[in-house]
DNA sequence: TTGAAAGCGCTAACAG
DNA sequence: CTGTTAGCGCTTTCAA
């Protein structure tokens, strides 16, 4: 692979100046057709592709938008792997009846956010750069990214406030899917609280007003905060003191849900169990099934997120489905808006969610 | 947001030259601690983040690697959506018992490729840019990307050969997960053919040597080609003329599998049905269940891909699980290797897959 | 319609 | 240890 061609090479070959080459590429109809052809031929022959760096420097915009996620659980600790070392193990291995891997974390849903973001970025002529939070946010990827993009979408809580302030001195930042932080930034979120409130009312109707237990995630989860808020407000509004509601704490994994489910089976069931995510709810269903507990007759169960396996669990799981693709699209839209109107007031958009009622919460059906 | 600060601003503020600022950022210990402190203070006060474009130009490398996917099925046609228009529909909607969406295409698996790639890129100090194939590949995203990255991973068949030649004149290209195309490029793939061969032998053992029917995808699928190859070789090796094997053609969706399954129920069952992907196999299982066909007693069924829902289907589906995360990692590793040794011979890596035996193919258990 | 030339912000010799 | 300076490859006036 010899030296990559530049405008100068193209200009030489076509017998024009570099300015003309640039014009052919950026504003084709300002150059005479014959000249244009010569230049395009030279481009093709040389396999010329303009340097994004040089272009970015000159134009003072990169045409790149960034999407920054919080870390995938445990992915950091993945062992080093060297496929080039040559010590491989043959073309396949055989295993019996493997379980689906639970270790991909709660982050599955982020795939759709990425899809939506990429789609919308493409529609607007941008390309997308992705980064995942890990290591010290003060020095890591996200700063790199900020230097290379025209704007940045940051998933809730993936970086601390002071870093955010720094970054936003260089590029516009849109906060995605977390609680609003002041109103310095543009913001896109979902109606988690409202949906959890409505779901809670639904559950109370099923249990005849008897209070559900709440299955929470780690204490510092911002998503969890909104869901809890919706839940507790609905509970209080129904005249039940929130302090009287049992709160169980898991870590968002299916196995933690199962463990808690087993405890409930042993110690006595609540009228309903409302989980702050689907995976814990599914774990609880596992425990209930094994313990001979009938859902929804003995206990009503609900989840939150709308992951696919919830539709085929036994029984199928009532949940709240997040509009992930739309979230990604919305974030890029807001960013594009900001880019075209740098001084407009900060925007805050809240996307509707979908409450999906299935057998796990439907006693009557 | 006022003008973004540059090295010059930082240098002024710290009372040093721009060279010193650059040193503090790139080789901190070549600078006297006192000076260094002053510079870092200025950086913090100004919220300075270096321009990736300028850096890229000067260093002649961007620190960015690109990952280019073929298009997600049907995602292009997604309607425009304007979240800023203000005509929203309220915080939530309620639906009864929604099915999981099948429309996310066969591309789910690509999420893990992305994860693996991002992980490995990060470990090596790169950031990742992603692009999805759509529109005319000659003018689209992928060329943009090629101009902005140090190297490019391209998923099989997402771009035509002549474009590939152009791109590889600028940056190293690694082809991922397709058949090898000559040996001009580095290449990472999986042992689909071998695994399908082994799986076919397994099925023949279960059926007592009676030949399975084959459920294929669209004719032009390159993945499909390898799977078919492994299948047909194993069939012939077993002494069965491949021409005598029924080949049914679907489009990789669950519903096409279901339709074909229904036809089989109506017209007569083969001893086994081997599908070239999981989703069609699951659709066939749906049809068999509804038609009162017992799997694996009346017909043995296998899939290919290892998607999660296959573990919880009725019965659980025998399949071949692809090492998607590893694929992503391997691609980046190969790319990094190429970057550090531009003139080394092209590399070709084949990753082992995992054959997962479950009830849908186990008559004996 | 085209060319000459001045940056864009940064890195990396090379001097001092 | 620090400053001066010459590019990196491109876009964009400004003249011709």
Q: Does residue B275 share a domain with residue B196?
A: yes
Q: What is the rounded average pLDDT of the residues A239-255?
A: 93
Report yes or no on A14 lying in a domain: no
Residues 27-86 of B with CB under 7 A from strand D: 30-32, 34-36, 54, 57-58, 60
String of DSSP letters for A230-270: HHHHHHHHTT--GGGS-EEE--SSHHHHHHHHHHHHHH---
Write a three-state SS string for chain B: CCCCCCHHHHHHHHCCCHHHHHHHHHCHHHCCHHHHHHHHHHHHHHCCCCCHHHHHHHHCCCCEEEEEECCCCCHHHCCCCCCCCCCCCCCEEEEECCCCCCCCHHHHHHHHHHHHHHHHHHHCCCEEEEEECCCCCCCCHHHHHHHHCCEEEEECCCCCHHHHHHHHHHCCEEEECCCCCCCCCEEEEECHHHHHHHHHHHHHHHCCCCCCEEEECCCCCHHHHHHHHHHHHHHHHCCCCHHHCCEEECCCCHHHHHHHHHHHHHHCCCCEEEECCHHHHHHHHHHHHHCCCCCCCCCEEECCECCHHHHCCCCCCEEEECCHHHHHHHHHHHHHHHHHCCCCCCCEEEECEEEEECHHHCCCC
- The CB density around residue B15, as the number of other CB atoms within 10 Å, is 11
Chain A environment of B115 (Cβ under 8 Å): 72, 75
Report yes or no on B225 lying in a domain: yes
pLDDT for B109 equals 52
CA distance B110 to chain A (A): 9
Q: Does residue A311 share a domain with residue A261?
A: yes
Nearest CA in chain A to B194: A91
Q: How confident is the model at residue A75 (pLDDT cuts 50, 70, 90)?
A: very low
CA of B30 to C1' of C12 (A): 14
**φ, ψ (nearest 5 deg) of residue A34:** -60, -45
Query: Which pair of tokens denotes residue A190?
Result: 């979902």
Interface check B117 vs A, CB under 8 A: no
Interface check B28 vs A, CB under 8 A: no
Residue range of the domain that includes A175: 64-76+103-190+325-352
Length reported for chain A: 365
Bases of chain D with protein Cβ within 7 A: 1-5, 7-13
Q: Does residue B318 share a domain with residue B196?
A: yes
Nearest to A301, CA basis, from A292, A310, A291, A312: A310
Chain A environment of B73 (Cβ under 8 Å): none
Chain B environment of A359 (Cβ under 8 Å): 97
pLDDT at B365 over 80: no
Chains A, B: CB pairs < 8 Å: 304
Strand B272-275 relative to strand B213-216, pairing: parallel
Chain A environment of B100 (Cβ under 8 Å): 308-309, 311-312
Q: Judge: A53–B49 Cβ closer than 8 Å, yes or no.
A: no
Interface check B243 vs A, CB under 8 A: no
Using the CB atom, is residue A46 less than 7 Å from strand D? no
Output the domain CATH number for residue A127.
Answer: 3.40.50.2300
pLDDT for A91 equals 72
Q: Does residue B185 share a domain with residue B69?
A: yes
- The better pLDDT of the pair B101, A326 is held by A326
Q: How confident is the model at residue A98 (pLDDT cuts 50, 70, 90)?
A: low
CA distances (Å), origin A191, targets A112, A155, A177, A322, A327: 18, 16, 10, 9, 11
What distance in Å separates the CA atoms of residue B49 and residue B56, rounded to the nearest whole number? 14
Sheet holding B92-96, edge to edge: A319-321, A353-357, B92-96
Report yes or no on B264 lying in a domain: yes
Interface check B334 vs A, CB under 8 A: yes
- The better pLDDT of the pair B133, A315 is held by A315
Q: Does residue B250 share a domain with residue B305?
A: yes
Q: Does residue A168 share a domain with residue A312?
A: no
Contact A264, A231 (CB under 8 A): no
pLDDT at B221 over 90: no
Orientation of helix A110-123 relative to helix A324-340, angle to 10°: 40
Q: How confident is the model at residue B87 (pLDDT cuts 50, 70, 90)?
A: low
Report yes or no on A208 lying in a domain: yes
Report yes or no on B9 lying in a domain: no
Chain B environment of A313 (Cβ under 8 Å): 312
- The better pLDDT of the pair A82, A232 is held by A232
pLDDT for A324 equals 85
CA angle B24-B30-B36, nearest 5°? 40
Q: How many domains does chain B contain in total?
A: 2
Using the CB atom, is residue A105 less than 7 Å from strand D? no
Which residue has the closest alpha carbon to C13 C1'? B19
Closest CB from A83, A148, A353 relative to B349? A83
Q: Does residue B208 share a domain with residue B118?
A: no
> What is the distance, to the nearest Å, from the Cα of residue A66 to the centroid of all Cα atoms in its chain?
13
List all residues 6 or more positions away from A237 whose beta carbon is below 8 Å from its beta carbon: none
Interface check A128 vs B, CB under 8 A: yes
- The better pLDDT of the pair A94, B323 is held by B323
Average pLDDT score over chain B: 87
Contact A209, A238 (CB under 8 A): yes
pLDDT for A80 equals 60
Query: What are the beta bridge partners of residue B249?
Result: B216
Q: Judge: B53–A148 Cβ closer than 8 Å, yes or no.
A: yes
Chain A environment of B305 (Cβ under 8 Å): none
Q: What is the rounded average pLDDT of the residues B10-16?
A: 95
What distance in Å separates the CA atoms of residue B109 and residue B153, rounded to the nearest whole number? 16
Q: What is the rounded average pLDDT of the residues A271-287?
A: 96
Report yes or no on B140 lying in a domain: yes
CA distances (Å), origin A57, targets A48, B17, B51: 19, 21, 8
Burial class of A303 by CB neighbour count within 10 A (0 to 12, 13 to 18, 19+): buried
Q: What is the rounded average pLDDT of the residues A178-185?
A: 72
pLDDT at B101 over 80: no
Q: Does residue A318 share a domain with residue A222?
A: yes
Burial class of B98 by CB neighbour count within 10 A (0 to 12, 13 to 18, 19+): middle
List all residues 6 or more positions away from A43 whose beta carbon is below 8 Å from its beta carbon: A10, A21, A24, A25
**DSSP 3-state of A187:** strand
Nucleotide with minimal C1' distance from the CA of A9 is D9
Q: Judge: B355–A188 Cβ closer than 8 Å, yes or no.
A: no
Instruction: Indicate the range of A26-35, A275-284, A289-298, B81-90 predicted with least confidence.
Output: B81-90
Query: Which residues 266-305 on chain A approach chain B with CB closer than 8 angstroms?
Result: none
Sheet holding B272-275, edge to edge: B247-249, B213-216, B272-275, B300-302
What distance in Å separates the CA atoms of residue A96 and residue B210, rounded to the nearest whole number? 23
pLDDT at B359 over 80: yes
pLDDT for A135 equals 64
CA angle A37-A41-A45, nearest 5°? 175
Instruction: Indicate the range of A91-105, A123-137, B103-117 predicted with least confidence.
Output: A91-105
pLDDT tens digits, A336-347: 999 999 889 998
CA of B333 to C1' of C11 (A): 27
Report yes or no on A318 lying in a domain: yes
Q: How confident is the model at residue A136 (pLDDT cuts 50, 70, 90)?
A: low
pLDDT for B238 equals 95
Q: How confident is the model at residue A100 (pLDDT cuts 50, 70, 90)?
A: low
Cα atoms found within 13 Å of the Cα of residue B6, Cβ hemisphere only: 10
Instruction: Indicate the range of A153-162, A203-212, A342-351, B141-150 predicted with least confidence.
Output: A153-162
Nucleotide with minimal C1' distance from the CA of A53 is D9
Q: Does residue A287 share a domain with residue A243?
A: yes
Closest CB from B94, B308, B330 relative to A100? B308
Q: Does residue A344 share a domain with residue A292?
A: no
CA distance B175 to chain A (A): 15
- Token pair 């059906």: residue: A365
Q: Does residue B226 share a domain with residue B172?
A: no
**φ, ψ (nearest 5 deg) of residue B188:** -130, 130
Report yes or no on B88 lying in a domain: no
Q: How confident is the model at residue A105 (pLDDT cuts 50, 70, 90)?
A: very low
Nucleotide with minimal C1' distance from the CA of B60 is D8
Query: Which pair of tokens denotes residue B245?
Result: 């094997």
CA distances (Å), origin A279, targets A108, A164, A302, A315: 11, 31, 11, 14
Q: Does residue A217 share a domain with residue A165?
A: no
pLDDT for B75 equals 46
CA distances (Å), origin A314, targets A184, B159, B248: 45, 43, 32
């Amino acid at each position: 692979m010899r030296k990559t061609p530049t405008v100068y090479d193209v200009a030489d070959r076509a017998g024009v100046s570099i300015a003309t080459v640039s014009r052919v590429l950026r504003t084709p109809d300002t150059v005479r057709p014959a000249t244009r052809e010569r230049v395009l031929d030279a481009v093709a022959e040389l396999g010329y592709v303009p340097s994004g760096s040089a272009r970015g420097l000159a134009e003072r915009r990169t045409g790149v938008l960034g999407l920054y996620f919080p870390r995938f659980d445990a992915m950091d600790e993945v062992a080093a792997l060297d496929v080039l070392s040559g010590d491989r193990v043959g073309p396949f291995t055989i295993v019996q009846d493997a379980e689906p891997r639970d270790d991909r974390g709660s982050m599955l849903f982020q795939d759709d956010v990425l899809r939506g973001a990429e789609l919308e970025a493409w529609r607007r002529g941008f390309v997308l750069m992705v980064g995942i939070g890990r290591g010290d946010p003060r020095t890591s990827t996200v700063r790199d990214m900020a230097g290379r993009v025209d704007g940045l979408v940051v998933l809730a809580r993936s970086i601390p406030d002071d870093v955010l302030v720094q970054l936003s001195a260089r590029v516009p930042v849109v906060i995605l899917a977390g609680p609003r932080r002041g109103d310095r930034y543009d913001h896109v979120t979902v109606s988690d609280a409202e949906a959890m409130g409505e779901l809670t009312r639904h559950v109370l109707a099923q249990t005849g007003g008897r209070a559900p237990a709440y299955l929470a995630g780690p204490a510092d989860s911002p998503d969890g905060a909104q869901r809890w808020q919706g839940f507790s407000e609905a509970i209080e509004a129904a005249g039940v003191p929130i302090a009287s509601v049992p709160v169980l704490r898991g870590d968002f994994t299916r196995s933690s849900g199962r463990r808690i489910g087993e405890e409930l089976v042993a110690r006595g069931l609540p009228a309903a169990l409302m989980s702050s995510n689907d995976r814990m709810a599914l774990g609880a269903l596992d425990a209930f099934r094994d313990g001979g507990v009938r859902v929804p007759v003995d206990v009503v169960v609900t989840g939150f997120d709308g992951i696919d396996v919830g539709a085929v669990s036994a029984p199928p799981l009532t949940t709240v489905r997040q509009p992930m693709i739309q979230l990604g699209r919305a974030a890029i839209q807001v960013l594009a808006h900001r880019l075209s109107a740098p001084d407009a007031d900060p925007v805050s958009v809240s996307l509707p969610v979908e409450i999906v009622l299935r057998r796990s919460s439907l006693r009557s059906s």
